[in-house]
Amino acid sequence: MIVSRGPSVVPRGALAFGIQLPIQAQSSLFAEPWEATATPDDLAAIARAADEHGFFYVAVCDHVAIPRQLAAAMGTTWYDSVATLSWLAAATTRVRLLSHVYNLAYRHPLVTAKAFATLDRLSAGRVILGVGAGHVADEFAGLGLNFSRRGRMLDDAIEVVDAALRTEFPTVANASFTVDGQLGLAPRPVQDPRPPLWIGGSSPAAVRRAARLGDGWLPQGTPLDQLPPLVELLRAERAAAGVAQPCDIGAITDWLHLGQPTWDVGRPCQAGTPARIAEHLRRYRDVGVDHLQVRFPSRGPAELIDQIAAFGSEVGPLLAP
């Protein structure tokens, strides 16, 4: 398999920070109660706050259809990733637009390449394509896909997407797809040689995939104390594959609150002064992490926006190199 390296977009030595947006995915496992009645205007306002206060990215999730037996836990509200990011591109100016993560197996990779190349053009080069293997077997079945082949299909789709984002008339032949160089895709992405490709997942297989095929790695909720061996595995696999280019290594942080919350946030939470929060987050950099996905408990969009603004203005500068 031939996948060329794309850009490393997180400045070396930085500890960048982004946020998975609320409202667009409403699993009971992480959504706040207020999100059920929130509006697209609320979603846009939160994205604009991240844009205005120095966040590196805003991110959205991806599911097509949730099986009935999982609907109580996962919910069925999952906004379409590309449609949502495209809409947010027009509502923001600087923040990068991340799919965290997009399931490549659910669409032909040329469809994915077309969508994200268009999004990169419309957003003036702000796309980060985060991809993953997927985990809901009945969703695969409902889409007519073989769940047991999801890893192979993801690897093969990455090869096609990589080629199609680099080349107007891509040529790829692998176990899952054949693209013969006779089909052209435009508009072309703004980023050269293509938008960065980050790979999600915390299993050893996902880490190896990120090392071999990705420009970045997106662990899925791995606690800080479990990150060091996975970072070492990533580096070892990357070296073994002969990849010299740095990999943008991410992490999802603990829940954070600037100040002391005056209500029961319902989950473990790091709370306190900006200095205390920054001190905690710098521990991620010590194990090799370059970018953080932060999250804030909140009782409504205004409170979340206040936390985003406070984090960007008071904690962000303390995370600079």
Q: Model confidence over 146-205: pLDDT tens digits?
A: 999 999 999 999 999 999 999 999 999 999 999 999 999 999 999 999 999 999 999 999
24-42 pLDDT tens trace: 999 998 999 999 999 999 9
Q: What six digits make up the tokens of 202?
A: 């915390």
pLDDT at 6: 73
286-309 pLDDT tens trace: 999 999 999 999 999 999 999 999
pLDDT at 2 over 70: no
The set of residues, in sequence order, having a beta carbon less than 8 Å from that of 53 and lying 6+ positions away, is: 308, 309, 311, 312, 313, 316
Largest CA distance in the chain: 61
Report the C-alpha gap between 19 and 309 in whole angstroms.
Answer: 12
pLDDT at 5: 66
Q: What six digits make up the tokens of 116?
A: 């994200």
Looking at the chain, the whole-number percentage of residues with pLDDT higher than 70 is 98
User: Across the chain, what does the average pLDDT equal?
Assistant: 96
Radius of gyration, CA atoms only, the chain: 19
pLDDT at 253 over 90: yes
pLDDT at 51: 98
Report the C-alpha gap between 159 and 89 in whole angstroms.
Answer: 26
**H-assigned helices in the chain:** 40-52, 71-74, 81-91, 109-122, 137-142, 150-166, 204-213, 227-240, 274-286, 301-310
Q: Report strand pairing: 178-180 vs 197-200.
A: unpaired
Confidence of residue 4 (pLDDT cuts 50, 70, 90): low
Report the C-alpha gap between 100 and 102 in whole angstroms.
Answer: 6
Confidence of residue 12 (pLDDT cuts 50, 70, 90): confident
pLDDT at 11: 87
Backbone angles phi and psi of 291, in degrees to 5 = -140, 140
pTM for this one? 0.97
Report the C-alpha gap between 282 and 295 in whole angstroms.
Answer: 16
Beta bridge partners of 57: 18, 96
The set of residues, in sequence order, having a beta carbon less than 8 Å from that of 14 and lying 6+ positions away, is: 290, 291, 319, 320, 321
How far apart are the two ends of the chain, measured CA to CA in Å? Answer: 36
Task: Compute the C-alpha angle 125/129/135, nearest 5°.
Answer: 165
In the block, residue with structure tokens 């031939």? 2
70-115 pLDDT tens trace: 999 999 999 999 999 999 999 999 999 999 999 999 999 999 999 9
CA 300 to chain centre: 23
